[in-house]
């Protein structure tokens, strides 16, 4: 936590949490043993009830013991995963191919592997004799670094009135599932999502996408992709499917299902986004509608980004409303870039801070 502002914010969150704990602001009474969705690095998903009732989390301010009923989400820091070195060697060899589509296919395949392929690529870069192959590997490494410059090294915990970085003190997680008791090693876990709070929308684009409308007036459109995902292997991309960029003169929108916010005390939208586009000439907007999509109000114009960004949008002024949100893209008649990405879109109970 080198950024002093973040440290202050985190401390403020901790103090707020401590106050809540001391009884000044009584926390709500959540279920004692919430259900948890466990996402593993290999793509597996387990759902069950943890045997434990609390989780220990070490921060630079001390050790927190959190009842599971207070936790919304835990994201484990990046651990470098194994990747088959033979597959990498084959792709690197193809990078030197005289055949352009073969070179492109290898480039795409390596990009899709993301940060886990970096150590193997560095070895190949050092070994490469062909200067052109060396150059191509250097370009690839730069693209991968651009896509995930802020890969979290710390575990992160999100609870009501608390957001903190640190280390989850957990060797393994015992989970009662419908298939019996399962034990999962902490090193295999990517994230835990607790079913503690009501949510109106929860979409990670990793499975069949339910209820979203992905409309476009051209070939460029929002579509699921494995190209760059914030988690779970898949996300939503706005570009020409299977191509390196979006096209000119297109309007494309990803519109959420209709959501009833009446059950939420402090409705809040959260999502992760990544935008490689011609800012200023092309546009990438977040909009909201309270009349089933007839009229839209702009909530945010996304700037160009260099890595995944996380955004939190309080929707308290839409409390008690029926809303849809949409992510819309428009391109002008020149200059195209790689496109836009979205992941982990949720609308749920927020902190109430505006």
DSSP collapsed to 3 states, the chain: CCCHHHHHHHHHHHHHHHHHHHCCCCCCCCCCCCCEEEEECCCCEEEEEECCCEEEEEECCEEEEEEHHHEEEEECCCCCCCCCHHHHHHHHHHHCCCCHHHHHHHHHHHHHHHHHHHHHHHHHHHHCCCHHHHHHHHHHHHHHHHHCCCCCCCEEEEECCEEEEEEEECCEEEEEECCEEEEEEHHHEEEEEECCCCEEEEECCCCCCCCCEEEECCCCEEEEECCCCCCCCCEEEEECCCCCCCCCCCEEEEECCCEECCCCCCEEEEEEEEEECCECCEEEEEEEECCCCCCCEEEEECCCCCCCEEEEEECHHHCCCEEEEEEEEECCCCCCCCEEEEEEEEEEECCCCC
Residue among 231 and 290 whose Cβ is closer to Ca ion = 231
Binding site for Ca ion (CB under 5 A): 204-206, 229, 231-232, 235, 278, 281-282, 331-332, 335, 343
Residue among 17 and 246 whose Cβ is closer to Ca ion = 246
Q: Please report how close the Cβ of residue 279 comes to Ca ion at its closest, in angstroms.
A: 10
Q: Please report how close the Cβ of residue 232 comes to Ca ion at its closest, in angstroms.
A: 4
Q: Please report how close the Cβ of residue 230 comes to Ca ion at its closest, in angstroms.
A: 6
Q: Please report how close the Cβ of residue 334 comes to Ca ion at its closest, in angstroms.
A: 6
Q: Please report how close the Cβ of residue 329 comes to Ca ion at its closest, in angstroms.
A: 11
Residue among 59 and 204 whose Cβ is closer to Ca ion = 204
Q: Please report how close the Cβ of residue 236 comes to Ca ion at its closest, in angstroms.
A: 8
Residue among 67 and 233 whose Cβ is closer to Ca ion = 233
Residue among 15 and 281 whose Cβ is closer to Ca ion = 281
Q: Please report how close the Cβ of residue 43 comes to Ca ion at its closest, in angstroms.
A: 10
Residue among 38 and 128 whose Cβ is closer to Ca ion = 38
Residue among 119 and 241 whose Cβ is closer to Ca ion = 241
């Amino acid at each position: 936590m080198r950024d002093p502002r973040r440290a202050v914010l985190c401390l403020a969150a901790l103090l707020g949490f401590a106050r809540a704990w001391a009884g000044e602001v009584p926390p709500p009474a959540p279920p004692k043993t919430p259900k948890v969705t466990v996402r593993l690095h290999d793509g597996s998903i387990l759902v069950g009830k943890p045997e434990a009732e609390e989780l220990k989390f070490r921060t630079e301010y001390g050790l927190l013991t959190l009842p599971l009923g207070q936790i919304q989400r835990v994201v484990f820091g990046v651990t470098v995963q194994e990747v088959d070195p033979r597959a990498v060697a084959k792709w690197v060899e193809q990078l030197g191919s005289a055949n352009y589509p073969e070179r492109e296919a290898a480039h795409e395949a390596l990009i899709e592997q993301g940060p886990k392929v970096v150590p193997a690529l560095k070895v190949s870069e050092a070994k490469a004799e062909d200067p052109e192959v060396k150059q191509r590997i250097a370009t690839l490494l730069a693209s991968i670094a651009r896509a995930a410059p802020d890969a979290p090294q710390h575990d992160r915990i999100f609870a009501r009135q608390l957001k903190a970085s640190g280390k989850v003190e957990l060797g393994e997680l015992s989970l009662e599932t419908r298939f019996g008791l399962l034990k999962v090693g902490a090193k295999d876990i990517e994230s835990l999502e607790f079913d503690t709070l009501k949510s109106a929308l929860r979409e990670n684009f990793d499975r069949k996408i339910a209820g979203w409308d992905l409309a476009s007036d051209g070939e460029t459109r929002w579509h699921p992709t494995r190209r760059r995902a914030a988690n779970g292997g898949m996300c939503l991309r706005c570009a020409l499917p299977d191509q390196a960029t979006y096209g000119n003169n297109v309007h494309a929108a990803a519109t959420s299902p209709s959501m009833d916010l009446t059950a939420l005390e402090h409705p809040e939208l959260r999502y992760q986004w990544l935008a490689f586009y011609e800012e200023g000439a092309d546009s990438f907007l977040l909009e909201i509608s309270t009349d089933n999509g007839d009229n839209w109000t702009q909530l945010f114009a996304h700037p160009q980004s260099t890595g995944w960004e996380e955004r939190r949008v309080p929707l308290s002024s839409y409390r008690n409303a029926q809303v849809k949100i949409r992510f819309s893209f428009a391109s002008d008649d020149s200059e195209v870039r790689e496109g836009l990405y979205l992941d982990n879109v949720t609308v749920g109970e927020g902190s109430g801070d505006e």
